[in-house]
Amino acid sequence: MPFEKNEFRLGIEGKSSRGNKEKRRIRMALIDEKVVYGRDTTERPAVLAYELVQGSLVKWGSVMGKSKPDPPTAVLLHGILGSRKNWGNINQKKAPHTVASTAFDVLKLVAQLRITPRVLIGHSFVALSMVEQAAKPLAQSVRVWSLDATPGKVRVGGDGEDHPAELISFIRKLPKEVYSKQDIVNALIQEGFSMDVAQWLVTNLKRNGPPGLPSSSFSWMFDLDGISEMYQSYEETNLWKFVENLPQGVHVNFLKAERSLHRWALEDLQRIHAAEDLAAEEGAGVEMHVLEDAGHWVHADNPDGLFRILSSSFQGFKA
């Protein structure tokens, strides 16, 4: 397990007006996890692969059999080219691979864990899944974050930014088994992708062979066919009707990256601002945010700035 004593630390650095660095640390404990293992499986797992972490101030002893009130819980989903241990090994699920089916899978997971999320955070494709999930009847108010994803038509601007569809297409041309992560980084950069995205992407390569035994080759940890279908569903999904008719207690935040590869049309901005007024009348909320110094891959380009913006959603909660 990669967490020392079942704990990990997240360091957030910021600069004061005098230029001095201030560092805050958040200590969390891994209290439950489910990682789906097994190569080329066709069975749909009962729940998604997940990691559940608990802040040091949260008074909650057990996930499946708790007696204390629910603490404020956030569900955070990475995009369809995510990484780290929550991928497990290659996990090929049965179709459909859509925004709606992803939202349904998340709902099944939180139901099985018996948690009631107060904050839903998703990037790109899964941002729409989080909005889709919020459209279902919920027991209490919820705040949704859509990171660099519009609720309607996907307008990709290009201008040298790393395009998800182009990235997926290029990865499909690469060998399924590779022998050097650096070779993949070099190939991505030569194709025009940024160094940050190239280095981040190769975290999705896992060394082949049984645990503990050396191996000279790596394989990708995702199902590219399923990912392609998911991205197509993302481009075809339109959630304006829900955003413009939010139920009471639902607050949706749209975060636009300053160098977003999506062209946020004037029509999009006007509809979001109009939705702000409509939501306020219904006891709901819609807000627009801009993350400076970031392209589409917001977590790689400006993680500190992203954290500062998201942190507003975790203030004022009562368990």
Strand 177-178 relative to strand 73-77, pairing: unpaired
- The predicted-structure confidence for 76-125, as pLDDT tens digits, reads as follows 887 766 654 434 444 455 657 777 777 788 888 888 888 888 888 988 76
Tell me, what's the pLDDT at 291?
Answer: 93
Task: Reply yes or no on whether the pLDDT at 203 is more than 70.
Answer: yes
Q: What is the mean pLDDT of residues 6-22?
A: 34
Rg for the chain (alpha carbons), in Å?
Answer: 20
The distance of Cα 202 from the centroid of its chain, to the nearest Å, equals 17
**Residue count (the chain):** 319
Q: What is the mean pLDDT of residues 275-281?
A: 84
**CATH T-level topology, domain 7-158+229-314:** Rossmann fold (3.40.50)
Rounded to whole angstroms, how far apart are CA atoms 52 and 73?
10
The amino acid present at 4, given as its one-letter code, is E
Q: Return the H-helix or E-strand segment holding 146.
A: strand 142-147
- 22-47: average pLDDT: 41
Helix, strand, or coil here: 80?
coil
Strands 177-178 and 218-220: antiparallel
User: Do residues 54 and 28 touch, judged by C-beta distance below 8 A?
Assistant: yes
State residue 201's pLDDT score.
85
Q: CA 166, CA 102: separation in Å to the nearest integer? A: 22
| Distance between CA atoms of residues 109 and 46, nearest Å | 8
Q: Nearest CA to 205 among 115, 90, 120?
A: 90
User: How confident is the model at residue 32, as a pLDDT?
Assistant: 46
**Residue-wise pLDDT tens digits, 57-74:** 766 555 555 555 566 788
| pLDDT (0 to 100) of residue 33 | 46
Quote the percentage of the chain above a pLDDT of 90. Answer: 11
The distance from CA 137 to its chain's CA centroid, rounded to whole angstroms, is: 22
256-267 pLDDT, tens per residue?
A: 888 876 667 788
210 has pLDDT over 60: yes
Find out whether 179 and 218 touch, Cβ atoms under 8 Å.
Answer: yes
Q: What is the DSSP string of 94-130?
A: PSP-SHHHHHHHHHHHHHHHT--EEEEEEETHHHHHH
Separation in Å, CA 204 to CA 81, 191, 199: 8, 19, 10
Nearest to 14 by CA among 298, 308, 315: 308
pLDDT value at 44 more than 50: no
pTM, full prediction: 0.67
pLDDT winner (highest mean) among 111-125, 145-159, 167-181 = 167-181
Token pair of 299 as six digits: 């977590």
